[in-house]
């Protein structure tokens, strides 16, 4: 069984897609051993509670400086003994110590087709605002391994979504979630849990 820890900051719809996938058997060989939020008001914490998954809040606000927060975050993760860490709408920079220790064992969902609309400053609605300002006709979502850059790690899965006339950032965000994120994040976890994902020279191969 692949032990996964899911890190969240907000609504937790991607967490819900993972919970549903495990329950319904579209994600196999996987146990969600914990949920970590940096925001005590995140609805994602309520979703974890309803699914009877241990959930904790580790907020930078509760620590004197970044180093102390990083230490507490690292300790919380380690106590859960994960095989894979899933960033599902987690809007905090992951300490580089953790990234090095969990090389190719941390994945992130990003709401665009990387390398478009990604990197510093592109998160949540801002990604969709950027896509609409540029006038792209196709956007989508990407699941990738996390390295020390921002949205630069090896790409595991991508799915395209059409932009439609009259879209607002909110409408586009919802369509990208429904048609891409909630599909490719559970699929990527299932592939990893079944040993189908390898990384060679910074590129992912799926067998
Ligand atoms: C999702 O759209 C996710 O792709 C995005 O935050 C949202 C979280 O929604 N993540 C990023 O922008 C990361 N750079 P959720 O809490 O309902 O899953």
- Find the Cα–Cα–Cα–Cα dihedral 58, 48, 191, 85, rounded to 10°: 10
Catalytic residue among 110, 128, 144, 205: 110
Atom nearest to 118 CA in ligand 1: 14
CA of 52 to the centre of ligand 1 (A): 22
CA of 162 to the centre of ligand 1 (A): 18
**CA dist list (Å): 138 to 11, 134, 141, 160:** 25, 11, 11, 6
pLDDT tens by residue, the chain, 207 residues: 999 999 999 999 999 999 999 999 999 999 999 999 999 999 999 999 999 999 999 999 999 999 999 999 999 999 999 999 999 999 999 999 999 999 999 999 999 999 999 999 999 999 999 999 999 999 999 999 999 999 999 999 999 999 999 999 999 999 999 999 999 999 999 999 999 999 999 999 999
Whether pTM exceeds 0.85:
yes
Name which residue sits closest to atom 16 of ligand 1, judged by CA. 12
Identify the bridge partners of residue 206 per DSSP, sorted by sequence position.
197
Tell me if residue 144 is catalytic: no
In the 8-state DSSP scheme, what is residue 61? G
Residue with tokens 């609605």: 125
């Amino acid at each position: 069984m692949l032990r996964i820890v899911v890190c969240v900051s907000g609504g937790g719809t991607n967490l819900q897609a993972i919970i549903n996938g495990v329950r319904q058997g579209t994600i196999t060989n996987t146990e969600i051993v914990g949920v970590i939020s940096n925001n005590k008001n995140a609805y994602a914490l309520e979703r974890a509670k309803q699914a009877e998954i241990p959930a904790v809040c580790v907020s930078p606000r509760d620590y004197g400086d970044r180093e102390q927060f990083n230490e507490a975050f690292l300790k919380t993760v380690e106590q859960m003994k994960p095989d894979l860490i899933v960033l599902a709408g987690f809007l905090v920079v992951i300490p580089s110590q953790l990234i090095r220790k969990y090389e190719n064992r941390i994945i992130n969902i990003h709401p665009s087709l990387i390398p478009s609309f990604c990197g510093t400053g592109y998160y949540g609605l801002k990604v969709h605002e950027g896509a609409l300002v540029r006038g792209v006709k196709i956007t989508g979502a990407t699941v990738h391994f996390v390295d020390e850059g921002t949205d630069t790690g090896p790409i595991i899965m991508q799915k395209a979504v059409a932009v439609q006339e009259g879209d607002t950032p909110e409408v586009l965000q919802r369509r990208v979630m429904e048609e891409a994120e909630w599909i490719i994040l559970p699929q990527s976890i299932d592939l990893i849990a079944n040993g189908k994902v390898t990384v060679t020279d910074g590129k992912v191969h799926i067998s």
